[in-house]
Structures are given as C-alpha cells and as structure tokens.
Homo-oligomer: A and B are copies of this chain.
Amino acid sequence: MSNTKIKRTEISQYGEFGLIDHLTKNFDLRQPSSLKGVGDDAAVLSYNQKKTLATTDLLLEGIHFDLIYTPLRHLGYKAAIVNFSDIYAMNGTPTQLLVSLGVSKRFGVEDLEDFYSGIRLACDEYNVDLVGGDTSASLTGLTISITCLGIVDPERVVYRNGAKANDLICVSGDLGAAYMGLQLLEREKHVFQQASGIQPDFAGKEYLLERQLKPEARKDIVELLQNKDILPTSMIDVSDGLSSELIHLCKQSQCGCRIYEENIPIDYQTALQAEEMHMNLTTTALNGGEDYELLFTVPLSFHEQVKDIEGIRIIGHMCDASLGMRLISRDGNELDLKAQGWNAFEDSSSNA
C-alpha cells in the first residue's frame, strides 16, 4: 500500500454516501438486463426468458488475504473473478456485481480507489455491471463481501449433481500453481521480515505469482463448450482444491470416481517450485486450491470431442458410489481422495 504514503484522503471526508458515489462513478451499465444500478435502495434487473444465477462470497483480511503482499488493485480484481468463476461453474454468464466493503481507519480513499480499479478492470474484461453495494467503517481490517448475479439459458444450466457412472472427468488449465505462488509469497514475507531490506527475487516464477495474485475465470471454457455443443453433466470450479471439488461432484451426483495421477495437469513452474520447497507435487495439485479452473463431467460418448481440446484434460471417470473416490497413482496404487482443502476455522489463530 505504498500509495498511502503519497496521498491520503481520510474516508470520513466523504461520508458513506459520498464515498460510494465517488468509488462507483465510473462504472457504466452495459448489460441489457441492468435497468438501474447503484444509487437506490436496490438494483433493478430484467432477465426475461433467462434464468438468474446468484452467488456471494465473503473475504476477510488475515483469513483470505494478506495485504503485505497483495496489492489492493489485484485484490479487487481477484474478489470479482472468484465470484465470476462461480457463475461460469453453473455454465452461465456473470452480468451484475454488488460489492460491500468494511474498512478500518488504516485505509484512505486512495486505497479504496485502488481496490475499485481492480473491480473495474474485472468488470471491463468480463463485461459485468457493478449495480450495488455498501461501504461501512470497521473496527479492524478490511472486509469484502461480493455478490454476483448471472444469466443462463434454462436448458444449459449445469449443477453439481448430474454426473453418472462412466462419465469422463475433465479439468481446464493446470492445478497447484496458485498454491505454490502463495507459498512463495509467504516465504519471501518471512525472509523480508527477518532481514529487512532484502528484496525478493521472483524471476522465472511470474506464472505462480499471477495465478495467486491475478487469477482469471474460465469464460473461454464455457464459451468453447457452448460452441462445440458440449453440455457437461456436472460442473464446479476449483476453489478449494481438486480433491475437495471432486468429492462435491461425487457426493451430490451419488457417484464414486477414479482419477489418474499421471493425467493431472501441472505447469512446469509449479513442479519446479514444489521440488525446490520439498513439497509433494500431487498433493499440491489435489489440495492447493484457488485455481479457479473448471472441473466437469461429460458422457463417455463425448470422448472424441473432448480429448483433443487444448486446455482441457480428461483426468478420469465417474463410477458407482460403492467403488469409492480414488486416485490411481503412477505406480498403480489406489488412494482415497480426502477433502484437505484449507479449513479456515481450524487455521485461524486468534481467539478474539
């Protein structure tokens, strides 16, 4: 937050209403469904024949993000992306965003402008309208609450519960990079705190940092599936880790699954960093999380159509629930999948 040193306007100078006006004044409405945005008691939206999707996320300082290495602009971008990703995971298109902030006195108006500039960039790139929100004082730290609305054709909505035995399990992009980016940032933070002045060297690790600090939502995959006339039987986005998300799909679809370690897509930088840090690469890919890739199932009959699509990997198949949920390792062993996604309730260290 080096900007705070340059210019710092007290938030109290604006008051609540002035502040939200100030922060949202450059957000134009672009979606035909956005009739009225910020500035009344509620946004007014019109969806006609489409179905509406709604999702919400709460991001808390010290739990979900660390401002020591997260620029506020990136945080705004990521906060929006995380919610867009949930809408894409329903095979929909995000259309409107509502953003609420709770901010302590530590933050100046310029900090919030940085945050909103990230929100704006995300809205621009994904063609989403900011239509509401709330700003409030907080006693400690930064609280971000985002609600995203979206639309979907009634016949194209994809839930988590539609997978059947023998369906192919597919995942977009690669996994584990965002988690390795986080490990890298945490390590450099400790080095910096212990020997102030040593600047971190991230050369050759840009991809890991980008995946952690400025992730993207897989709009392209949803469009690609539509263009190829592929309708997944189930879908979820990978926010808590592949293992945890697969378990969601299996449980809600009442299936088991087999995935193959050798098929899990992992980027070269991720592998290199895991080796450097003596971490198990497969565990990283299975449990790291924050990948925001799409995990979905398609009927076996779609094999030919799916197998050669760039950016999509078939990692296994669904099976009868009685067969359990398992990873087949490179050496042929079968291991039970566990939801080892980050449990924030156990990790939080304060007793407040």
Q: Which residues of A contact B (CB under 8 A)?
A: 11-12, 14-17, 19, 35-36, 39-49, 51-58, 60-64, 85-87, 89-90, 92, 96, 98, 100-102, 104-106, 131-134, 136-141, 143, 145, 147-150, 152, 154, 157, 159-161, 235-237, 248, 252, 339, 343-348, 350-352
B137 lies within 8 A of A41 (CB) = no
Q: Which of B48, B106, B161 contacts A351 (CB 8 A)?
A: B106
A51 lies within 8 A of B41 (CB) = no
Instruction: Give the most central of A62, A339, A350: most B CB within 10 Å.
Output: A350
In the complex, which residues of chain B have a beta carbon less than 8 angstroms from the beta carbon of A86?
41-42
A158 to chain B, nearest CB (A): 9
A344 lies within 8 A of B89 (CB) = no
B343 lies within 8 A of A16 (CB) = yes
- Prevailing SS type, chain A contact patch: mixed
In the complex, which residues of chain B have a beta carbon less than 8 angstroms from the beta carbon of A46?
51-52, 154
B42 lies within 8 A of A89 (CB) = yes
Q: Which of B47, B139, B344 contacts A137 (CB 8 A)?
A: B344
A91 to B347, CA, bound (A): 44
Q: Which of B11, B98, B160 contacts A56 (CB 8 A)?
A: B98
Q: Which of B132, B235, B347 contacts A54 (CB 8 A)?
A: B132
A54 lies within 8 A of B348 (CB) = no
Q: Which of B53, B58, B350 contacts A45 (CB 8 A)?
A: B53
Q: What is the chain B residue whose CB lies nearest that of A131?
A: B54
A346 to B105, CA, bound (A): 9
A139 lies within 8 A of B60 (CB) = yes
Instruction: Give the most central of A89, A137, A347: most B CB within 10 Å.
Output: A137
A176 to chain B, nearest CB (A): 21
> Beyond A11-B345, A52-B45, A147-B98, is A350–B36 a contact (Cβ under 8 Å)?
no
A344 to B102, CA, bound (A): 10
A42 to B92, CA, bound (A): 10
Q: What is the chain B residue whose CB lies nearest that of A147?
A: B147
A190 to chain B, nearest CB (A): 19
In the complex, which residues of chain B have a beta carbon less than 8 angstroms from the beta carbon of A344?
16, 136-137
A138 to chain B, nearest CB (A): 5
B132 lies within 8 A of A60 (CB) = no
A41 lies within 8 A of B89 (CB) = yes
A54 lies within 8 A of B15 (CB) = no
A106 to B348, CA, bound (A): 12
Q: What is the chain B residue whose CB lies nearest that of A88?
A: B41
A12 lies within 8 A of B137 (CB) = no
Q: What is the chain B residue whose CB lies nearest that of A56?
A: B98
A168 to chain B, nearest CB (A): 20
A46 to B51, CA, bound (A): 5
> Beyond A137-B347, A143-B143, is A42–B63 a contact (Cβ under 8 Å)?
no
In the complex, which residues of chain B have a beta carbon less than 8 angstroms from the beta carbon of A136?
58, 60, 63-64, 344
A62 to B47, CA, bound (A): 38
A339 to B17, CA, bound (A): 10
